[in-house]
Chain A
Amino acid sequence: AQTVTQSQPEMSVQEAETVTLSCTYDTSESDYYLFWYKQPPSRQMILVIRQEAYKQQNATENRFSVNFQKAAKSFSLKISDSQLGDAAMYFCAYRSYNTDKLIFGTGTRLQVFP
């Protein structure tokens, strides 16, 4: 069975600085998708970024980028120029080609200080 591990329960960053959130996963599959979701205090789950495992190029969405290391089964999220609105819980998630369900990590709470 696939598992997702987020080893950083909490992280903090100064406004305008860069922070990296870690995620590792375990799978025997070669094809899959990886996601980062953001959950602000409103508790809504908001998609931040997605990565297809077959793509070697790291996904980027504005200030958010990932470092996808397939061999190491690592999928970290880098937030550049951090803003106060980035403060939230961030969840890493795995989705197999063979199933639709998302498997979530336990989350990392990000604090952003002015």
Chain B
Amino acid sequence: DSGVTQTPKHLITATGQRVTLRCSPRSGDLSVYWYQQSLDQGLQFLIQYYNGEERAKGNILERFSAQQFPDLHSELNLSSLELGDSALYFCASSPGSLSGNTIYFGEGSWLTVV
């Protein structure tokens, strides 16, 4: 158990809908990362938050947004969903930023868009 908690574990929704994925980082970790793992594109970095502020942005679509709350949990919002958004979405956390700390992953949230 990495200590990173993600909910829901599985989600099935229709095209055009909006979903929210939730992540609780390991106790004491200030950085939260979101990654997308799809069959054809491997593991892609989406976005990072550090202590409530956006720190780095990767290949995140405009239809997607994220935030980190004062209690350090994070949410990834996916809207106007398309079939191609079906993927495993990982949240990960680490203690700091630019410190070389190991990044630990949650179990992921499976999103299926039908």
Contacts and interface: CB of A to CB of B under 8 A. Distances in A.
A98 B98 CA distance: 6
Of A47, A99, A100, A105, most buried by chain B (CB within 10 Å of CB) is A100
A106 B98 CA distance: 24
A44 B48 contact: no
Interface in B19-38: 31, 33, 35, 37
A101 B102 contact: no
A46 B56 CA distance: 23
A35 B103 CA distance: 10
Interface residues of A, number: 24
B103 to A, nearest CB: 6
Nearest to A107: B42
A105 to B, nearest CB: 8
B interface majority secondary structure: strand
Given A44-B108, A106-B42, A107-B42, A97 B58 contact: no
A33 B100 contact: yes
10 contacts: A43-B37, A43-B110, A45-B92, A100-B33, A100-B56, A101-B58, A102-B43, A104-B42, A104-B43, A105-B42
Interface in A17-68: 33, 35, 37, 42-47, 50, 52
B33 A44 contact: no
Contact of A101 (B2, B45, B90, B106): B45
